[in-house]
Amino acid sequence: MSAAQTKAIGPAVERPAYRDANVLRWLCAYAASAVGDTIYYLALSWAATRGGSPARAGVVLAISAVPRALLMLGGGVLADRLGPRRVVIASDAARSLIVIGVAALLLVSSPGLWLLAAVAVVFGVLDVLFMPAVGALPPRIAPPGQLARIQGMRGLASRVATVVGAPLGGIAVALGGSVTAFGVAGLLFALSLPLLLAVRITPLPADDSRPEAPALRDLTDGLRYVRRHRVLAPLLVVIALGDLGFVGPLNVGLALLADERGWGASGMGWILAGFGVGSGATSLLLAVRGRIARAGLVQGLALIVGAGAIAALAMVAHIAAAVGVAVMIGLLAGLSGALCNALVQTRTDPAYLGRVTSVATFFSLGVAPLSFPVTGAAVGLWGTAPVFGFSAAVCALGAVYGLCSEGLRRAELPR
């Protein structure tokens, strides 16, 4: 073919991620693991409640957050040093073996809460390995122009996992108690392994030439890389403040609000469903569209308006209005969060992506959950409206900080 003919044809059209078999294998593996996560936590909750007082059961459920808070940054170092697919496969295999082993042990004995606490700690450690590695995989399996679309697909998979996992776990518990539920979760973790093994990844150019360095130096290099980056540095501040302001009201605060308004558990369920619908719609939009222009500006504006919706949720009196506000929160906070994740994926050098992801995850799953008891105590002292308003202000502060950063405000997703 002549050069003129080649020029006339133009560059090859990039295949959308939702038509890429390699991406779909990764997505199915992630979905199976996410459903397994949902069932595992339901099984752990049921077993802990049956094995002790509610207070002791709460300790068992909360203890897995401790390793995430202490070790998450180290998990990012391992993902970058060993390769994300290798770490994901190893951690999922370990989770499968541990959970199936717990099911077998519960089948023949009643070891008590000490076993469940130990499992929760080990599972938290494995989460430290799994989460940064999952975040570092997309740039190895798809071109930059598809990474935003992959974030939308991942968001959809997470929503589907919640919708499917909760009733599936409930059925498993109803049929055979925690033993059956743990067993189903372990099989789902195992199901992800052949899919992950079939995923083809693109090695980094520096993989074979990068000199070995101590893990601590890798960690400090990653933090220095973030601090000096004109987009990532303010972006991670936005993620941290957004999570701190968001997770308290939408977890602990929502239950207290439903009780205060007399909406009950069913009302809280409808509000959560509204949030899920809004967030799922945003994920679908990103998965289909693939790119949103002026992503840095849009995520900041969406977060500001979403913060206002969080404050408004504590002001409405009727459940129908609360559900409508929850849909808006899901749409706006979901859009902001999806764009933040897409910018992390596309703006980070893949050699650092495990460490950068671990920093974001540290705030999301390590620091932000510490606000749960603070939120509960604050609602007891001042009521829901002031607490939701303060949380909304924290979210808005993060958005304003991001909009004041020229690098982040002008950030674009690749075409």
- Dist. CA 355–CA 219, nearest whole Å: 7
Note the CATH number of domain 17-144+162-198.
1.20.1250
Tens digits of per-residue pLDDT, 154-198?
Answer: 888 888 887 788 788 888 888 888 899 999 999 999 999 999 999
CA-nearest of 38, 39, 58 to 48 is 58
Does the predicted model carry a pTM greater than 0.85?
A: no
The letter for the amino acid at 367 is: V
Max mean pLDDT range (221-230, 263-272, 284-293): 221-230
Cβ atoms of residues 350 and 140 within 8 Å: yes
Q: Both tokens of residue 3?
A: 């050069």
- Dist. CA 322–CA 247, nearest whole Å: 17
- Dist. CA 318–CA 186, nearest whole Å: 42
The C-alpha angle with vertex 308 and arms to 305 and 310, in degrees rounded to 5, equals: 115
Q: Both tokens of residue 407?
A: 């690098």
Cβ count near 39 (within 10 Å): 32
Cβ atoms of residues 363 and 312 within 8 Å: no
Tens digits of per-residue pLDDT, 344-370?
Answer: 988 998 889 889 988 888 887 777 777
Q: Is 12 helix (H, G, I), strand (E, B) or coil?
A: coil
Show contacts of 371-376: CB within 8 Å, 24+ apart.
371/244, 371/247, 371/248, 372/247, 372/248, 372/251, 372/252, 373/252, 374/248, 375/248, 375/249, 375/251, 375/252, 375/253, 376/252, 376/253, 376/256
Cβ atoms of residues 362 and 73 within 8 Å: yes
Same fold, 17-144+162-198 and 215-409: yes
Q: What CATH number matches the domain at 215-409, 3.50.50.60, 1.20.1250.20, 3.40.462.40, 3.40.50.720?
A: 1.20.1250.20
Cβ atoms of residues 284 and 324 within 8 Å: no
Q: What is the CA radius of gyration of the chain?
A: 22
Domain boundaries, the chain: 17-144+162-198, 215-409
Convert 232-272 into a string of H (helix), E (strand) and C (coil): HHHHHHHHHHHHHHHHHHHHHHHHHHHHHHCCHHHHHHHHH
Tens digits of per-residue pLDDT, 13-65?
Answer: 578 888 899 999 999 999 999 999 989 988 887 887 776 655 566 667 667 77
Q: Is 92 left (phi over 0), alpha (psi -120 to 50) or beta?
A: alpha
